[in-house]
Each structure stands twice: as C-alpha cells, then as structure tokens.
Amino acid sequence: MNKMYPYDLEKLPYPHEALEPVIDAQTMEIHHDKHHQGYVNNLNKAVEEHRELQGKPIEELFASDIPAVKNNAGGVWNHDFFWGIMASPGRGHIGDELLTALEKDFGKVEEFMAIFEAEAMARFGSGWAWLVKDKSGKLSVMSTANQDNPMVEGKMPILALDIWEHAYYLKYQNRRADYVKAWWDIVNWEKVEDLLKS
C-alpha cells in the first residue's frame, strides 16, 4: 500500500456476507462502511490542516506526533490490510513455504496459533494482534494498542486480527476468545504467504 492524500475508502474485496458465519454481514457493513469510513474522513481532515504531510505515503504518518494523524492513518491502513487477509470460510490452507517458516520460528503451527490467540486475548482494551517478519525474515507475534502499526518498530505485518469490540461485538458480545478462535477459518493463507515472500 502506498496511499496518498486525499484518501478514499477502498471497497471490500468481497460482499459483506462473504465471511459468514464467522463474521456476520451486519458487522462487516458497520465495520467497513461506518468505522473504516470514519478513519478515512478524519485522516483527510487532519492532513488537510497539515499541508506538509500531504505528499507523504500513509506509512510515514504512523509515527506522527499529531494524534489525529497517527491514529487515523493507522485506522485506514490497518483496516485495508485486515480486509485483504480474509476470505470465505474454508477456502484457504497454509502453503508449504509459510508452513516451513511457521515451523522454523514457532515449532508447530498449533503453537503459533496458541501464541497468537494468547496475544490477542492479553491486549487490554482495543487493538490488534499481528504476525510480523523482521528484516531477516524471522517471524514473531505481537499486539499493538488502538490503531498503532508494527512498522513503527521495523516489523512488517503479514497477518492481522482486529480486536476492537466493534469487530465482533454484534455476534460474539463479550466473548473475544470465541471470535479469535473462529477467525482462523477465514484467514486467506495464500495472501499471508504472498506477504511472507514479498
């Protein structure tokens, strides 16, 4: 992604109902069309007031010392990324190269998933859980608060889970653990492997 001001809301790569039953159509509609649109609108407004930022790629705004810029830039980028690493239930499987990398850095795929789920559950309040790679290609799991992005720490995301309540509350209420476990069924592993290779 290399989005520049003025920012637009990217269309979902699938219909609102495509991720059911894991994520319901109403949640997707509200999440994308309202919450994500709000980040786009607020980022445009914030950058409009800071002309020196208007020629910068959105990734350069993650570390801004202007809260409205930092928070909304993360909100726009993180959500664009999130939509792209999901697909209809049961359509994906972990490819050989990704499997090898996960086993190398976590031992077993199941261990990676357990670590990822624990990271998602341990994040207090709103935020994201991530599978990231460093400059050497080593994989690790981390979480960030609010709309913060791992690229600020030199880590490249290859998988992300939105753990803000608006991402799951209509269907799962306060059962974040159920949402996190169910979410594996809609991960687009082909896309994750492409990101691993890039």
Record the pTM: 0.96
What phi, psi does 166 have (nearest 5°)? Answer: -65, -15
pLDDT of residue 105: 98
Residue 2, pLDDT score: 57
Question: Following DSSP, what letter does each residue of the chain receive, concatenated?
Answer: ----SSP-PPPPSS-GGGGTTTS-HHHHHHIIIIIIHHHHHHHHHHHHT-GGGTTS-GGGGTT-SSHHHHHHHHHHHHHHHHHHTB-STT-----HHHHHHHHHHHSSHHHHHHHHHHHHHHS-SSEEEEEEE-TT--EEEEEEETT--GGGGT-EEEEEEE-SGGGTHHHHTT-HHHHHHHHGGGB-HHHHHHHHH-
pLDDT tens across 65-82, in order?
Answer: 999 999 999 999 999 999
The pLDDT score that the predictor gives to residue 1 is 56
Digit-by-digit pLDDT tens for the chain (198 residues) are: 558 899 999 999 999 999 999 999 999 999 999 999 999 999 999 999 999 999 999 999 999 999 999 999 999 999 999 999 999 998 779 999 999 999 999 999 999 999 999 999 999 999 999 999 999 999 999 999 999 999 999 999 999 999 999 999 999 999 999 999 999 999 999 999 999 999
Instruction: Please check whether residue 3 is in contact with residue 76, taking contact to mean a CB–CB distance below 8 angstroms.
Output: yes
Residue 87 backbone phi and psi in degrees, to 5: -150, 170
* Structural domains in the chain plus CATH codes: 24-84 (1.10.287.990), 96-197 (3.55.40.20)
Distance of CA 7 to CAs 2, 38, 41, 92, 185, Å? 11, 11, 8, 31, 31
Number of residues written out for the chain: 198
In the sheet that 139-145 helps form, which strands lie side by side, from edge to edge? 139-145, 127-133, 156-162
